[in-house]
Structure 1
């Protein structure tokens, strides 16, 4: 399958997985196609870029990548792929599909994903639902775990152990999906999919089709299949088919065989690697534990639990389940054994011990040092000593230590440094995107809602406050994803709000990707007015292009950036919904474009004459730019422009200062000598 050892990231492994499935089908004489759709978002923020980079290879294997404008429409497209097999004019025997999205995208797509799973896959198709789960809230508005939602939809869930584990687990998932008619959840947590690992050569698996009970009307997509209770009845047969497939084709593995285990440790996904690391540090191995009657089961099929897992648990006296976040496996196992007589029922612990006391946290990511103590105490009950390093056994200090902190900030030249200002006396609310960072700057910006709900919370606040108006920041990517509906809702409610649409011409937060469709400022203007917005105004870095094109409707004016405050004051006094479009390209994306196209490079640069500079810092205040840096001189602290960081936004020139010099036609001098000198 993998012809030679390679270093792959989790994101790259997902792309490879698609290519391997196409090759796997070809080897077995199946003429299939592949289809990928979803919406970017950390930890899957770079998957679309990885797919674009491998576009020619995907195309050569008849794999189509179509990014969607949001996650639920992507899921709907995947429903369509499973209808191909029954289409009269089909050019392939089936389509294997892959949906992707971060945890909140799973949540918002629940209806579509639930429908897809219930109505089923085709026998030669199959769907993987790749959920980018940010367990630690590293780059999300809140942490998320998709297992519970998928379980509620009766959707089977796989949790790969590592990057190299993606291949076998993914191929197993598609094969199980084809057999059972179910869509298969595939957890891609941040710590795995955003990591890299050496992947060694492996062979393609041989899957054996089990004998299954398809129920009264089958498991797969069919038509006529009108709404009715039979759709829900079918879900039970699908889950039973998954169990049968798992029994014939085991996906969970016992690290070292133990004929009659006294104790069983069930490890799930990345948390299992944490536990194994804790054992390694303590000088223990799975083999050493097996010799003492302790078995370790590495679980990949999180839901439903396989008969192998249940049988092994039944043999043990005590079971310890190690899984990150909520007790998904633990709850199922306890449910299975609840009514078993006490003498035949194992003692099952995980998040809590047998007396109900907490053992492992269910609200944070696990680490080896968090697991070492609980595992050591559990093993001690079997007479096994597990040394715990002193620095792991000591409780962390609860006192607040005043350590330096590096607060995330706008890039040099970022449009948000200017666009997120509001007039005196006004308040703003943030949205999803880089501009959220305005909340920890002096911008009178506070609050948070889900992506696509920007400004709609004001509809619930406005009737009960004397505040007459707010500004709502909204990125152009979010607008195209779902934010336009928020504007429509605000118009329908008749609230007083100004949507500040930050048009940056790129989805900056996930890598500068283009918006997945055609959207221009004139289009947004016309649509907003057609929806009933009272007034639309544009503030732009370069207003000349609007005058030249003449594309704006009557009454819509483009203003220079210096007029931002005045334009905002005018809009906030208009009753109803107004829209201000702030048009300036993302500074980091503009920097990339300049590297690719020299014609885009700036003709002017700003420098500061430190002999004239008095160090007042007004240039920094006006521009909010990180490229304006302090320097220490014999005459005290002055300011300078870090030319290597500067993106030539030139907002620093607004500072009231004679020390600035503008150079026309020059370029930043490159550093000389070795970087390592």
Structure 2
């Protein structure tokens, strides 16, 4: 099906069919440079990874207006900030007036679950009566730990399906090297468990290309899609040319698919109760997910480079690893047009028809992907029963020995060191003296060069963390020297007197407060660092088995309003339960809540749902907390609180520590 552009203007050869009110408003007003980067439709453009995600909202609406010029679409974006997506919400706020013109609603979630539930709600808006629009594109954003938190929302959403003319995707930040996370993470495995297909772009330009295509895949299949973004892709930037004809090409493929698949019905049933939910499950597994592979093939989402070589081996590389592979080949003095390479965009469910065509006639497939095996596992499962299947190596070689590591970050240097010896064995490269190149690179890698510039973490000047937690950390370190006598009870209720060192244990939550324990970690001292929403709860699980009767827990305001404020109620109930049923009545802890009005590690934005300190104190009092000490520059402002204590900063900090 052909779609004709109505625009004959050479300066703007791309124009959606059917101009809308929002595009008229946008044309009438003078655009800032910030807005221009999101609305220009041809020529060169320079974007960061985060800016590409902002532009994607406008690109997708333009694309839908090209496909359905008579319909009205809107966008709903929600989630929770966190590196490598830490600046996404800030960049969205910079163009709020433009978002409003285009009916793009950004509503930050107080935490990841809140954002995911709101985004799902945008997909079922027609259940609540007459709708203002024909369809809504929903987008959620969050880092790896946040993806783990929304698993139940994803499961319900995917089982229910997506309403007609709606589309949804999850923007998942992967911090493979734990650059700004307590643990490294890999989100595609989590999405796989919740039946969510994963698309993996490898650079900034591909964010836009992949984002448009998965929006259409979602609308056609009735499933939400995961857009996996690795740290270096989010943090990177790229200049590239926009294709003004891309939307027309995608629109034609989209409408051709609808024409050829008239019998395909995508059911939408958000009432998940047995036995009807079993029908949903069957359709999800045997209709919708296989349809994703069909759509992937139609849109040509898998790229096969240098197929004319007809080699007896091929390399498969996903996302960022594809570009790292190109860098590794360059380091080995091998041109990237000398090797057959297969690059899938959707890594699950994989388009096995295209993959089998690539694998046909090959003796070996080398799979390169970061972290644990994902695409490799799926293609091994698919090709296992094929006659003449090739040897497939990736995380392990054919003898079960580790090949490409599953831990840490996989870059071009590592790929070159691992891939080089295998390529040296291939007849086509035997005269390249790859071993000489590898030895030279190993020699450089083994050089013990001193670090000239060190950048230790530091608190921002004037931040409450700087004074509060530095003093607390100081007392934590001092406590490792002296011992203190503790009177407690064993599990049988017998009185016990014991000496404990250190005197004080301080739990530290996610955020800048972790800097207060770096010295303690270096000295092998006891510290506790848990995930968000663990603040204080770890001690409740440990307190019944420890002779310690008190612990301190640090918590920033970002974490407090994300989830930790719920813990006050949980901790109080746990203490009551231990006392009532087990006679344990010597459990206690102090929460050191630092309010600096920003989530500093992700850009300095105000925590979503944050109360002023006075309201926070009132809410804490309502939970039945016995003693609240307020540390402030002007403590007299808080003297009117019942049972409140106002004194100087130093005095209160000594009480906490």
Answer whether TM exceeds 0.5 for this pair: yes
Residue 300 in 1 paired to residue 345 in 2?
Answer: yes
Post-superposition shift, 1:192?
0.4
| 1:227-251 C-alpha deviation (Å, 9 max, x unpaired) | 4322322221211110110121111
After superposition, residues 289-368 of structure 1 pair within 5 angstroms as: 289=339, 295-306=340-351, 307-341=353-387, 344-368=388-412
Residue 82 in 1 paired to residue 130 in 2?
Answer: no
CA RMSD of aligned residues (A): 2.4
Contact 2:332 2:420 in 1 (8 A): no
| 1:28-70 C-alpha deviation (Å, 9 max, x unpaired) | 2131100100000000000000000111111111110000100
After superposition, residues 433-472 of structure 1 pair within 5 angstroms as: 433-441=511-519, 446-472=527-553
Residue 516 in 1 paired to residue 608 in 2?
Answer: yes
How many angstroms apart in 2 are the aligned matches of 1:302 and 1:17? 21
Residue 556 in 1 paired to residue 556 in 2?
Answer: no
What residue is the counterpart of 1:275 in the other structure?
Answer: 325
What residue is the counterpart of 2:583 in the other structure?
Answer: none
Cα 1:325–1:395 change in 2 (3 A) is farther
Cα 1:80–1:246 change in 2 (3 A) is same
What residue is the counterpart of 2:269 in the other structure?
Answer: 222
What residue is the counterpart of 1:624 in the other structure?
Answer: none
| 1:378-399 C-alpha deviation (Å, 9 max, x unpaired) | 3233313253354423495599
How many angstroms apart in 2 are the aligned matches of 1:301 and 1:566? 55
How many angstroms apart in 1 are the aligned matches of 2:284 and 2:191? 12
Post-superposition shift, 1:485?
1.8
Cα 1:456–1:164 change in 2 (3 A) is same
Q: 1:157 aligns with which of 198, 214, 225?
A: 198
What residue is the counterpart of 1:287 in the other structure?
Answer: 337
SS in 2 for 1:467: coil
| 1:418-471 C-alpha deviation (Å, 9 max, x unpaired) | 212345632211111101101124697711111111111111211122211011
| 1:627-648 C-alpha deviation (Å, 9 max, x unpaired) | xxxxxxxxxxxxxxxxxxxxxx
Cα 1:527–1:280 change in 2 (3 A) is same
Post-superposition shift, 1:331?
0.5
SS in 2 for 1:524: helix
Residue 263 in 1 paired to residue 301 in 2?
Answer: no
What residue is the counterpart of 1:584 in the other structure?
Answer: none
Residue 496 in 1 paired to residue 542 in 2?
Answer: no
SS in 2 for 1:74: helix
What residue is the counterpart of 2:138 in the other structure?
Answer: 97
Post-superposition shift, 1:531?
1.8
Residue 373 in 1 paired to residue 417 in 2?
Answer: yes
How many angstroms apart in 2 are the aligned matches of 1:52 and 1:484? 26
Contact 1:438 1:445 in 2 (8 A): no
Post-superposition shift, 1:85?
4.1
What residue is the counterpart of 1:117 in the other structure?
Answer: 158
Post-superposition shift, 1:139?
0.5
Residue 13 in 1 paired to residue 52 in 2?
Answer: yes
How many angstroms apart in 2 are the aligned matches of 1:7 and 1:502? 39
How many angstroms apart in 2 are the aligned matches of 1:286 and 1:250? 21
Contact 1:40 1:101 in 2 (8 A): yes
How many angstroms apart in 2 are the aligned matches of 1:532 and 1:241? 55
| 1:282-318 C-alpha deviation (Å, 9 max, x unpaired) | 33223233xxxxx111121111111212332234221
| 1:164-190 C-alpha deviation (Å, 9 max, x unpaired) | 111110011010001111110001110
Residue 23 in 1 paired to residue 62 in 2?
Answer: yes
How many angstroms apart in 2 are the aligned matches of 1:517 and 1:487? 17
Cα 1:85–1:94 change in 2 (3 A) is farther
Cα 1:565–1:257 change in 2 (3 A) is closer
The unaligned stretches of length 5 or more in structure 1 are 290-294, 570-677
SS in 2 for 1:247: helix
What residue is the counterpart of 1:593 in the other structure?
Answer: none
Larger fraction in helix: 2
Contact 1:125 1:178 in 2 (8 A): yes
SS in 2 for 1:138: coil
SS in 1 for 2:620: helix
Q: 1:241 aligns with which of 269, 291, 308?
A: 291
Post-superposition shift, 1:334?
0.8
Cα 1:5–1:380 change in 2 (3 A) is same
SS in 2 for 1:275: helix
Contact 1:439 1:445 in 2 (8 A): no
How many angstroms apart in 2 are the aligned matches of 1:170 and 1:265? 25
Residue 40 in 1 paired to residue 84 in 2?
Answer: no
How many angstroms apart in 2 are the aligned matches of 1:214 and 1:162? 37
SS in 2 for 1:149: helix
Per the normalisation by structure 1, the TM-score is 0.78
Residue 130 in 1 paired to residue 171 in 2?
Answer: yes
SS in 2 for 1:432: coil
Cα 1:399–1:16 change in 2 (3 A) is closer
Contact 1:85 1:92 in 2 (8 A): no
Contact 1:477 1:507 in 2 (8 A): yes
Contact 2:368 2:394 in 1 (8 A): yes
Runs of 4+ with >6 A deviation? 398-404, 442-445
Per the normalisation by structure 2, the TM-score is 0.80
Post-superposition shift, 1:535?
1.7
